[in-house]
């Protein structure tokens, strides 16, 4: 072995050791999350603020709590415009988002790295062309945003309104976009073992909305399949009873996907 080979060999050994340490650290972190008990104060907070939590089976409650821990360990929640991210804010965001992950095989928002929280609706200036190719410099007021599989932005005032029962739920809307992004090959559908029923029901409901406005599904859904899935998810979580009565096929589809009954 000459010196060059020696250096290469040494370098490879160091690289392998670094990979090993990082692998074991990750595994240790995962293991300690599995072993750490769910804080009683978090359980109390979520039971008080998330009304739907009472509908979960004991098995689903355990799964939900594991996912909340995983969410908080892996995804950074950061305040913008001087918004202070308290423990309560963190736990409520994770708790609400993980209500959308009751499927045993669900990923905890694979690819999502950061949630940015503004105190209220925020102004953004985007330079992408719109549907007809126009690029505008005019700032727009937003309640939330979802950047493909990477970042969610929320207005806390509007998350609070959703927690209080408002028909608009920016949190489930933006996290539905994250679920949609888990399968880059589909638009307006999350990862599913079979797309037959999903596409049949969603297409029929989309066409029906084109013909006539719905009392529960926002017309904004007509922007395209991606927005339709997001506004249908809002209706499902905020107005489950009306959705079941007026759009039983869509309600059934979303119930089978989200695995929670939101209708009275």
Contact residues: Zn ion, CB under 5 A? 227, 230
- Our CB check for Zn ion shows the closer of 94 and 176 to be 176
SS (H, E, C) 183-251: CCCCCCCCCCCCCHHHHHHHHHHHHHHHHCCCCCCCHHHHHCHHHHHHHHHHHHHHCHHHHHHHCHHHH
| Contacts (Cβ under 8 Å, ≥6 apart) of 154 | 93, 115, 116, 117, 118, 143, 144, 170, 171, 174
What's the gap between Cα 36 and its chain centre? 24
Work out how close the CB of 73 gets to Zn ion at its nearest, in angstroms, rounded to a whole number: 27
Q: How far is the CB of 230 from Zn ion (least distance, A)?
A: 4
Q: Which is nearer to Zn ion, 202 or 230 (CB)?
A: 230
In whole angstroms, the minimum distance from the beta carbon of 173 to Zn ion comes to 6
DSSP labels, 88-135: HHHHHHHHHHHTT--STT--SSTT--EEEEESS-EEE---S--TTS--
Q: How far is the CB of 227 from Zn ion (least distance, A)?
A: 5
Q: What residue is closest to Zn ion based on CB?
A: 230
Q: How far is the CB of 59 from Zn ion (least distance, A)?
A: 32
Q: Give whichever of 201 and 232 is closer to Zn ion, judged by the CB atom.
A: 232
Of residues 189 and 230, the one with the C-beta less far from Zn ion? 230
Instruction: Output the CA–CA distances (angstroms, integers) from residue 236 to 45, 124, 177, in the order listed.
Output: 23, 28, 15
Q: Which is nearer to Zn ion, 117 or 230 (CB)?
A: 230
């Amino acid at each position: 072995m000459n010196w060059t080979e020696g250096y290469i060999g040494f370098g490879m050994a160091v690289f392998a050791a670094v990979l090993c340490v990082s692998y074991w650290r990750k595994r240790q972190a995962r293991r300690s999350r599995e072993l750490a008990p769910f804080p009683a104060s978090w359980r109390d907070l979520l039971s008080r603020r998330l009304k739907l939590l009472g509908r979960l089976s004991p098995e689903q409650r355990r799964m939900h709590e594991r996912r909340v821990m995983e969410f908080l360990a892996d995804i950074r929640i950061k305040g913008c415009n001087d918004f202070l991210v308290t423990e309560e804010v963190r736990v409520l965001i994770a708790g609400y988002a993980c209500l959308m992950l009751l499927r045993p095989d669900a990923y905890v928002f694979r690819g999502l790295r950061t949630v940015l929280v503004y105190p209220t609706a925020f102004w953004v200036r985007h330079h992408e062309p719109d549907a007809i190719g126009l690029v505008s410099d005019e700032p727009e007021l937003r309640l939330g945003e979802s950047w493909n599989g990477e970042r969610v932005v929320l207005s806390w005032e509007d998350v609070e309104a959703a927690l209080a029962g408002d028909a608009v739920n920016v949190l489930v809307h933006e996290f539905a976009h994250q679920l949609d992004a888990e399968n880059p090959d589909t638009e307006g559908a999350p990862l599913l073992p079979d797309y037959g029923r999903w596409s049949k029901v969603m297409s029929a409901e989309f066409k029906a909305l084109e013909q006539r406005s719905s009392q529960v599904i926002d017309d904004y859904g007509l922007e395209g399949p991606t927005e339709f899935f997001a506004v249908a998810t809002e209706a499902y979580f905020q107005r489950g009873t009306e959705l079941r009565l007026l759009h039983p096929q869509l309600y059934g589809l979303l119930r089978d996907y989200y695995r929670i009954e939101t209708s009275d």
